[in-house]
Amino acid sequence: MRQNTQAQLHVESDAGMYDAINRGLKRATGDICAYLNCDEQYLPGTLRRVADYFEQHPEVDVVFGDSIVVDSELEPLAYRRVVMPRRWHTLLRPLGVLTCSHVLSPEDRGRGRAV
């Protein structure tokens, strides 16, 4: 955190995980927005591939990715293909996919793209 002068840390009370995530996304100022929970991580090179994809496909606003579920020793347990959400899917099963595959669209705020 101290090495990245663009990063900001906000410590405050919230109404739970999703309230905290929404607050963070509202404060985001970049062109590409994404979030991970404390037990998730991107594979090396993921963010570069996302940035390259957006650069090559300016008509695209949202990208999704598959997930690898691992145990505490980082041994793979499962490979989960992304589920392209439809409106009924997000209404009926908002937690049916891993959060790193689940998109909160910044288009709702009128700017940016989402991972």
pLDDT for 72-81, tens place per residue?
888 888 888 8
Cβ contact 14:23 at 8 Å: yes
> Which pLDDT tens digit goes with each residue over 33-61?
888 877 788 889 988 998 999 999 988 88
Measure the CA–CA gap between 86 and 89, rounded to whole angstroms.
5
What is the pLDDT, as a whole number, of residue 13? 93
Could you tell me the pLDDT band of residue 66, with boundaries at 50, 70 and 90?
confident
Per-residue tokens: 68: 């690898």
CA atoms within 13 Å, Cβ hemisphere of 63: 22
